[in-house]
Amino acid sequence: MDTDGTYGTDEKRPPRAGHVPRPAGPPPGLPPKPAHAPAGPGPSLADWLRTPRSSDGPGVWTYGHAPRAAEEPERTPTRQLISGALIALLAGLLLWSLLWNGYLGGFWLWPLYMFTPDSWAGTMPSVVASYIWYGLVVAALVVGFGRLGRWPELARRLLRSRAVQAVQAAVPARPEEGGPDDPAAWPQLRGAGLGEIADRLGAEAGSGRMNDVDYARITRAWESVRADPSRAVAFADSVRDKGAGACVHPSGARDLPVRAARHDLLARQVLLGTVEDSARNPYGRRGTRLALDPAVLGTSLLAVGPSGAGKTRQLVRPVVESLALQALAGQAAVIAVAPAGAQLGPDTAYDVVVRVGDPESVYDLDLYGGTTDADEAATLLAEAFVGDVPGIEVRRAATALAQLLGPFRTAYGRFPAVPELRELLDRVPGALDGLRTALEDAGQHVMLRELDARERQHGAHGDPGPALADRVALLDRPAFAGFFDTTGQGRPFSLRALEHPLRVRIDLPERGHADASRILARLLLAQFNASAAARADRSLFAFLAFDDASHTLTPQTVRGLQRLRSANAGVLLTLRTLDDVPEALRTPLLGAVGCRMAFSGVTTWDGKRFAEAWGTEWVETRDVTHRTVFADQPLTRAIHAFRKLVTGKAVTTDAVTVRQVERERWSASDLAHAVPPGHAVLSLTSVQGERAAPLLVRLSATG
């Protein structure tokens, strides 16, 4: 029960395909509380749990969110309200002065004379009645001129300061502590008759021995118990023995060594920044915080921005960090692919770190993705090797590879290593003769026919063999000696392990072997598309993040992105420019992903593609026409002439025309020149189909 269905590997032998590798470093204990953890400098775990969460659209940071009105109410400027109130006050005082001093006659005293008897004259009742009447008249003047001057609205605006509103929004109503629905008391366990277990976990939370990852992980384990009641006894025993450390991740880790962003594991969100309070954004989203979660990442995200725009620091690392925390909670599997040296967190934050080309790397990369089917392996390799080569059909390349991989696996019980595959593609006599002899000895006539077919097609028009051999040669370099081993001597990582809550980082040798790195990136994307869709258990959210996806996309992988939504999986792709994608794929790529992000500094050429993807909207425009006034009367002409002499401008009248016009949400010029540094324009789509219009966001993942 502690591994929640996952398992490690024997240290004395290499793992089989699909098994969960051991952690990249020694299993750490519970580390010091990272920044932004709920039980750290922020609220306690109990307060964090009791804080309500609400959302009125995709991408909203739900923690303590207070929904805003969808449209901006008509609001009179405060300055205009004050001037109107003062004018009404002065007018009221003037009228009262005129009435009191008799300049308007005594008509306003007639009701007093009509309803008081003459015998009261000069007596105390007459004085009292007079002052009552004066008070009624003053009250009537105050009400009348107050409504005319909009005094109540001005008073409400002055009394309700922004500071009070901010405090009210920051401290929303909570569930009552100790109540039946108090999440810190584990009501779901009490409802199932596990009061003792709930008391143990409640005590762990109250004493500070439980963090947000523990709560999310144990909640996830309880959900698995509800799905399979046979696990209930093991779950109860684990919690009874280990408390907050129950059902721990196979690595033994209960948190990350460090957090670079703010996370809410209860909502599975990571904070990216704040939506700017500007007219470019919808009124309902202005000033709200923006976050990402599997509900939107499941539609995949494409981010474009120049070097230094903050793609790694403000987007890739927070997202990878969020999915790594969810992996520790048994909710996700994340694979981060980046050039060597990218700042995606320490090695101890990952279970597997593959450093391709580094002799000190503990793990290797399975070139064949853990499959045992020669046709499937050939298809994935063909996509990686020649998927970006114009004029070469990937299907024919896959057939050529299958004609070699199938016979080799049949003869030797494994797929060829890179040097062996290169020899077969180069038609080295010793390699082919040895393979043929092994097949003849085993009586594999079907595979011999496959080998004969490859020999007949070699050198024919359109044969992909030479191109495949050239690409394989890029991996058959001294720097990669010992990598991509298929003999069982290494510790290869396979994407077949996506059914387990893994944290994986793959460092590519971009600096010295750019072409090889691109081949491996295409291979990983193709393998991820295939493995994520082929999972029998899709309860874990599978995610692949590319810190640099330049020259990685092919027509087949772009089509595969659209199928990830139904497989509970997603991909994050970052590019310096869309020019790093073949021109024929730029529009399909923007259509295949549900989330699009343009960082500050994109070119107008890239901005044009985003503007087309985001479409247009109806907006209200006001056209003001100034017309010179020509007076007919001599006195009026003289006044106009004097005014022009004083102001230097002719007397004009303004004609205002209001129209509804269709305009681009963000034009190419706006994206290139109107997005400030440290900002980005982001549109979101959830897997349920909810959409958020392009938002100008100030990026700050820490608060």
Average pLDDT per block of 10 residues along the chain, 703 residues long: 37 38 42 44 84 91 85 71 85 86 80 76 79 86 84 79 47 62 89 91 90 95 92 93 93 94 95 93 91 96 94 96 97 95 92 93 92 94 92 93 95 94 92 93 92 89 91 93 86 91 94 92 96 92 95 94 94 96 94 96 95 88 79 79 73 80 90 94 95 94 73
Among the candidates 112, 140, 162, a domain finishes at 162
Return the C-alpha torsion angle 360, 363, 367, 373, nearest 10: 150
Q: At what angle do helices 394-412 and 429-442 cross, to 10 degrees?
A: 60
3-state SS string over 321-356?
HHHHHHHHCCCEEEEEEEECCCCCCCHHHCCEEEEC
What's the Cα-to-Cα distance from 299 to each of 92, 490, 504, 567, rounded to whole Å?
Answer: 63, 35, 21, 10
**Sequence-ordered list of residues with C-beta below 8 angstroms from that of 405, at least 6 positions apart, any chain:** 374, 377, 378, 415, 416
Q: Name beta bridge partners: 680.
A: 599, 697
Residues 6+ apart with CB under 8 A from 310: 599, 678, 680, 699
Q: What is d(CA 208, CA 231) in angstroms, rounded to the nearest whole number?
A: 27
Q: Write the burial class of residue 119 (CB in 10 Å: 0-12 exposed, 13-18 middle, 19+ buried).
A: exposed
Q: What pLDDT was estimated at residue 162? A: 53
Whether 328 is covered by a domain: the verdict is no
Task: Answer whether residue 110 is part of any domain.
Answer: yes
Nearest to 169 by CA among 65, 38, 284, 289: 65
Where b means 16+ CB within 10 Å and e means fewer, 240-272 reads eeebbbbbbbbbebbbbeebbbbbbbbbbbbbb
The reply to whether 396 falls in a domain is yes
> Of 109, 137, 162, which residue constitutes the final position of a domain?
162
Question: Residue 703: what pLDDT?
Answer: 67
Q: Give the total number of structural domains in the chain.
A: 2
CA angle, 380 then 591 then 55, to 5°: 110
Q: Length of the chain, please? A: 703
Within a domain: residue 409?
yes
DSSP per-residue codes, 143-170: HHHHHHHTHHHHHHHHHS-HHHHHHHHH
Nearest to 265 by CA among 300, 314, 215: 215
Residue 153 lies in a domain: yes
What's the pLDDT score for residue 11? 35
Coil, strand or helix at 515? helix
Residue 148 covered by a domain:
yes
Alpha carbon of residue 310 to chain centroid: 15
Could you tell me if residue 95 is inside a domain? yes
Domain boundary among 490, 515, 531: 490
Q: pTM score, two decimals?
A: 0.81
- Predicted pLDDT at 181: 79
The answer to whether residue 52 sits within a structural domain is: no
Residue numbers of the domain that contains 431: 381-490
Helix, strand, coil tally for the chain in percent (to 5): 45, 15, 40
